[in-house]
Structure 1
């Protein structure tokens, strides 16, 4: 039974013709131009500004029940999509990586030997487009009249550029980064979905989600050490320009997440201590 399910999963996620025949082509593939990525980012920032400053202040808040339903549906889609991307990229990497199999997810062969095609790059393309859909997170926050942080807007905007560069430069570490990020998002959107349908969790679980995201960035730097070692000792790795952008972006996110974590949970701890003193 388990073997049959695994074979079916492999066919759907790796061997399906739409997956196995994927090829990133700037003149044909959806989103495969810098103009597309730039338009999405600038359009997102302009929309956020217009909604916050001009449109939403003149409109009444939407009904709470409708907003909860929209949030639940949005989070359910991203939960399912994240699970599919994590499983699809992991299975694709295992099935298609050339020997030695452990090396390829960290270091693509350079000099044009790696083409942006096949199942792993299919899932990288799905991941890229999913980040465009994820911009809906911001709309739900604005409609709910909740505070919008710099971390949230910066993260959602720049990650679109990062995912474009993964594909455009055939960035080494792409499989490791995708599986890690999508896996973390399974946990994150499962938590968001449960909250949107009315399940209440102790505050420590929200803190655990933030700490899991921080651990993800720390892991990315550990994986980068492996990639850099292979790059400088074993003939180089493809997509180094994309990796430099990714490393700087991850470092900035780590700093912002640590700042958010300290501000949010130190303040909560101080309030709790004050309540006990009273």
Structure 2
């Protein structure tokens, strides 16, 4: 029994690859600003080009198995990241304050930053979401919110690592948990078992942003009242991005669910 308890800790925290990880700007794979720029540019260019080609959508019999495998991979990866960052944070933190405010001397080394790196790379894999939407011919799903989120979130993850940004462990853990719910929903849809909790996906994303702003107040207090927190300029970028996403998600939420509720009321009255 004791071995079973220590086994997850070894694979998620203590094994040498995770424990001794170090982000080296320009040396670690995908760590250069040029790589980031080319990745975002390629994503936006291919999305625009493939959308303009207007080829016939793939048959659901072909697309659903591909989508199911893709979403299952991201579901398992998100689950691993949620567990990994949680166990790593408990192992690496010097005190509870560390989760909110890295000291300015903090270096991007250790298991927490390994999982932040995996999270960063996973955002490239998530670009396949857009390709599947285009192949399905779903114009409604290929929204500005979708493309904007996918293009900028990878920049945010890069900033987390390159600036050693405070609050990153909590942000990563909550985001990974939301993605477990989201990709769990998409996987169920792909195998023909559409859950009834679609709205919960958007609601969880909105709650995540609210939580992010709430704990940011504590981080800013620590930054101003003490020796300062690491990566404050990275946090500023993150805060602006989250604010823009929250506004877009709220707009999406009101347009989709408020409209459906109104239609249901009208149907009952007619």
TM-score by length of 1: 0.94
Taking the aligned partners of 2:48 and 2:16, their CA distance within structure 1 comes to 42
The residue aligned with 2:201 is 209
Query: What is the CA-CA distance between 1:187 and the residue it aligns to?
Result: 0.9
Aligned-partner SS, 1:108: coil
Query: What is the CA-CA distance between 1:26 and the residue it aligns to?
Result: 1.9
The residue aligned with 1:95 is 91
Taking the aligned partners of 1:61 and 1:27, their CA distance within structure 2 comes to 40
Taking the aligned partners of 2:188 and 2:58, their CA distance within structure 1 comes to 21
Taking the aligned partners of 2:211 and 2:187, their CA distance within structure 1 comes to 26
Query: What is the CA-CA distance between 1:34 and the residue it aligns to?
Result: 1.1
Q: Deviations over 1:36-62 (max 9, x none)?
A: 1111111111011000112xx1x3322
The residue aligned with 1:180 is 174
The size of the alignment, in residue pairs, is: 268
Query: What is the CA-CA distance between 1:66 and the residue it aligns to?
Result: 1.5
**Is the 2:56–2:137 contact (alpha carbons within 8 Å) kept by the matching residues of 1?**
no
Q: CA RMSD in A?
A: 1.0
Alignment of 1:133 onto 2:125: yes
Taking the aligned partners of 1:248 and 1:200, their CA distance within structure 2 comes to 34
The residue aligned with 1:165 is 159
For 1:1-12, what aligned pairs fall within 5 Å after superposition?
Answer: 1=1, 3-12=2-11
The residue aligned with 1:40 is 39
The residue aligned with 1:104 is 98
**Is the 2:165–2:232 contact (alpha carbons within 8 Å) kept by the matching residues of 1?**
yes
For 1:181-196, what aligned pairs fall within 5 Å after superposition?
Answer: 181-196=175-190
Taking the aligned partners of 1:226 and 1:5, their CA distance within structure 2 comes to 37
Q: Deviations over 1:182-205 (max 9, x none)?
A: 011111111111111111323xx1
Query: What is the CA-CA distance between 1:25 and the residue it aligns to?
Result: 1.0
**Is the 2:106–2:164 contact (alpha carbons within 8 Å) kept by the matching residues of 1?**
yes
**Is the 2:185–2:194 contact (alpha carbons within 8 Å) kept by the matching residues of 1?**
no
Taking the aligned partners of 1:149 and 1:5, their CA distance within structure 2 comes to 45
Taking the aligned partners of 1:74 and 1:21, their CA distance within structure 2 comes to 30
Alignment of 1:232 onto 2:231: no
Query: What is the CA-CA distance between 1:171 and the residue it aligns to?
Result: 0.2
Alignment of 1:64 onto 2:63: no
Aligned-partner SS, 2:195: coil
Taking the aligned partners of 2:41 and 2:130, their CA distance within structure 1 comes to 14
Taking the aligned partners of 1:131 and 1:65, their CA distance within structure 2 comes to 27
Q: Which runs of 5+ in 2 are unaligned?
A: none
Alignment of 1:25 onto 2:27: no
Q: Deviations over 1:175-229 (max 9, x none)?
A: 0000010011111111111111111323xx1111111100000000011011111
Alignment of 1:276 onto 2:268: yes
Identify the range of structure 1 (25-34 vs 262-271) with the bigger mean alpha-carbon deviation.
Answer: 25-34
Query: What is the CA-CA distance between 1:103 and the residue it aligns to?
Result: 0.6
Alignment of 1:265 onto 2:257: yes
Query: What is the CA-CA distance between 1:234 and the residue it aligns to?
Result: 1.8
TM-score by length of 2: 0.97
